[in-house]
């Protein structure tokens, strides 16, 4: 059974760096084709894909946010970490991590999400 759970601060100040951790179980990030991605959703708005890290440490980023994002993995801890620099109130959103299915190239399991508010 695949599960993912996001953790991190619920409130950050403008200009600060956000660090979120996705802790997962039921799969290994060393398995060929597997990946873990991050997606966010501002209140009342659409989903926005942020980043993805593959089993082989290949990383993909949203072109519009690439300069602010860093994604890393710790295979031994079953964790993926996303950092986003220079946070702004418009970055207030629920942040989800999701399992990328190796064979079908889709996000098939999602975490419950964590709401991050950016405010001074």
Q: Which residues of this protein are in contact with other proteins, per CB under 8 A?
A: 37, 39, 46-49, 52, 60-63, 96, 101, 104-113
* Shortest Å, Cβ 105 to other proteins: 6
* Contact yes or no for 114/8 (Cβ under 8 A): yes
Beta bridge partners of 13: none
Query: Length of the chain, please?
Result: 120
Distances (CA, A) of 17 to 9, 55, 87: 11, 25, 6
Nearer residue to other proteins within complex by CB, 24 or 107:
107
* Shortest Å, Cβ 96 to other proteins: 6
Nearer residue to other proteins within complex by CB, 73 or 113:
113
């Amino acid at each position: 059974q695949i599960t993912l759970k996001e953790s991190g601060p619920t409130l950050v100040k403008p200009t600060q760096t956000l660090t979120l951790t996705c802790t997962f179980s039921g799969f290994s990030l060393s398995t060929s084709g597997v990946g873990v991605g991050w997606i966010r959703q501002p209140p009342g708005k659409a989903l926005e894909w942020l980043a993805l890290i593959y089993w082989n440490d290949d990383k993909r980023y949203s072109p519009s946010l690439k300069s602010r994002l860093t994604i890393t993995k710790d295979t031994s801890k079953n964790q993926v970490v996303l950092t986003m620099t220079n946070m702004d109130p418009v970055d207030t959103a629920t942040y989800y991590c999701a399992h990328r299915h190796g064979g079908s190239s889709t996000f098939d399991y999602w975490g419950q999400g964590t709401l991050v508010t950016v405010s001074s």
